[in-house]
Amino acid sequence: MTSTATDVLLRRIERLERENRRFKRAGVALALGLVAVLLMGQAPGRARTVEAEKLVLKDRAGKVRAVLGEAGEDRELGLYLYDRKQVPRVAVSLDMTGAPMLRMASEIGADRVRLEPDGGLNLHGDSGRVYLSVKYGNEPSLDLIDKDGWTRASLHLTSAPMLRLLDQRGDARIWMGAMSDGKAQIYLGARPERSQPGQVIDLSKPRVLPYATLEVEADGTMGLQFRRGGTIWKAP
């Protein structure tokens, strides 16, 4: 074989080796690219799905600051936030029936705010609470309740707004309202007597408690009435 033929053959062998090396590098790059794509496709899946019965978050001091899962004496499912003294202050939970509830507590753990779809909004204080609700799904009402649990004032809206003021026994003594016919009325009633154990009540003789009423008709006509058994005084 001549030197010229040998040189040509060597150049062809070198070219084939260079092309072979390029193919190898391209294959490795393609393989690495496929692996990267697979890893990127799997990473979001791991980030989106976390399975656990309870998630507990702690601060740097190792104190529990939040719990997601079952907690409390009733083992209600929800999110619970704790202050630095480990007192639960906020809870968004579902009770055993599946009804949602929001609670906010004071620094000693006493309920201050309680919100339920069916139970309404309760605002608790040291001397009583305020209860805001929509009864029967369409009648908004506002109740002021004392520390002993007696309703002392109640504002309702049905066909017309009505305000009731009650005594310490829960008996309504004063009514004020703007009636649907345009009349404004104030009614003051006596406290009813409590029936004694074994006392027989004669329902054939209904007893009308003493009362006084002040009315103003839509046209401006005013009326005043006092009643004790029978009408004592009436005007006009």
Angle at alpha carbon of residue 109, lines to 103 and 111, rounded to 5°? 40
Confidence at residue 176, expressed as pLDDT on a 0 to 100 scale: 95
3-state secondary structure of 200: coil
Confidence at residue 180, expressed as pLDDT on a 0 to 100 scale: 85
Confidence at residue 215, expressed as pLDDT on a 0 to 100 scale: 93
**Phi-psi label, residue 137: left if phi above 0, alpha if psi -120 to 50, beta otherwise:** left
The tens-digit pLDDT sequence of the chain (236 residues) is 455 555 555 565 566 556 555 545 544 454 455 455 545 555 554 557 778 888 899 999 999 999 998 876 677 889 999 999 999 999 999 887 888 999 999 999 899 999 998 889 999 999 999 999 987 778 899 999 999 999 999 999 988 899 999 999 889 999 999 988 889 999 999 988 776 676 666 666 556 688 999 999 999 899 999 988 778 878 87
Partners of 144 in the β-ladder: 130, 153
User: Encoding tokens for residue 128?
Assistant: 């009583």
Confidence at residue 153, expressed as pLDDT on a 0 to 100 scale: 96
Confidence at residue 25, expressed as pLDDT on a 0 to 100 scale: 55
Spatial contact of 173 and 189, defined as CB atoms under 8 Å apart = yes
Confidence at residue 120, expressed as pLDDT on a 0 to 100 scale: 92
Spatial contact of 169 and 191, defined as CB atoms under 8 Å apart = yes
Spatial contact of 77 and 92, defined as CB atoms under 8 Å apart = no
The owner of tokens 């139970």 is 119
Cα(111)–Cα(128) distance, integer angstroms: 12
